[in-house]
Amino acid sequence: MPLLSLAHMCVLELTPPEMVTTAAEAGFSGINLRLSPARETDPIYPMIGDTPMMRETLKRLDDTGIKVLDIEVLWLRPDTKPGAYKGVLEAAAQLGTRQVLAAGLDPDLARAADTYAQFCVEAQPFGLNINLEYMVISEVKTLAQARKLVADAGQPNSGIVIDALHINRAGTLLEDIARIDPSLLRYMQLCDAPAQAPDSMDGLRFEARHNRLPAGEGGLPLRALMATLPLTIDISVETPLGGERGKLPASQRADILFDTAHRFLAGD
């Protein structure tokens, strides 16, 4: 049965052990963990190596049956050096996931493809797949660019992450998603948003990071999107809430996100 996973970005104030407990209490079967910060303001958790927090996280995973769907985020930067994320890859393997997310911050896409290939090669001994997410607020902005980068890297453990918000803001056609080799689509990120995109890059960044809507509450063509994806695809609910709901305690936000995602996926 596919996992329904709570993304760390929705409740980033929680430590990884707290994530496990909160997700389990809300009804989720999986979690995403951000072990490599996406921004300088992100918290850094002591999860690399045999740390007390890693041991507590593993214990709670075992106690609850929650699975780690994926770990994030490996950045394709101009100055990324081999081995830069070795500790993150080791932690991902220790946590039992097979999925790691990467994103592009290098405007030289040929160099980014080399870095991505390097990530894939380094991940293979750990049994990990490196899944590339494209978004207009990064340097890998379109599905065409993501597909070319993955093809140029030429690694068997490559993949592409479909984020319901980012594909819409990038103008991706659903028929183009349907043409992706299904073996590259291991999980997707679910959220909703108004049909009309923000009119600035700052607005797009704010929406993506702080102001998404639960599935079924916005204007994105989510049912048509789901119909193009493999039936068995795992789903990460990546929906950082804004407004008054964004001020609620993490446990209440998790409850809202599970309930709305469950109803949407059940066809209600």
Q: What pLDDT digit, counting tens, does each position of 177-227 carry?
A: 999 999 999 999 999 999 999 999 999 999 999 999 999 999 999 999 999
pLDDT band at 22 (very low <50, low <70, confident <90, very high): very high
pTM of the model: 0.96
Residue-averaged pLDDT of the chain: 97
Task: Tell me the CATH number at 239.
Answer: 3.20.20.150
186/236 Cα distance (integer angstroms): 11
What pLDDT is recorded for position 38?
Answer: 85
Separation in Å, CA 163 to CA 86, 132, 191: 26, 11, 8
| Chain position carrying tokens 């140029």 | 152
| Chain position carrying tokens 């590259």 | 184
Share of residues in the chain with pLDDT > 70 (%): 100
Q: Give me the half-sphere count of Cα atoms (radius 13 Å) on the Cβ side of residue 30.
A: 24
Domain containing residue 180: 4-265
Q: Which two tokens stand for residue 1?
A: 């049965």
Domain total in the chain? 1
Phi and psi torsions of 188, nearest 5°: -135, 165
pLDDT (tens digit per residue) in 142-167: 999 999 999 999 999 999 999 999 99
pLDDT at 40 over 90: no
pLDDT (tens digit per residue) in 73-114: 999 999 999 999 999 999 999 999 999 999 999 999 999 999
What pLDDT is recorded for position 268?
Answer: 78
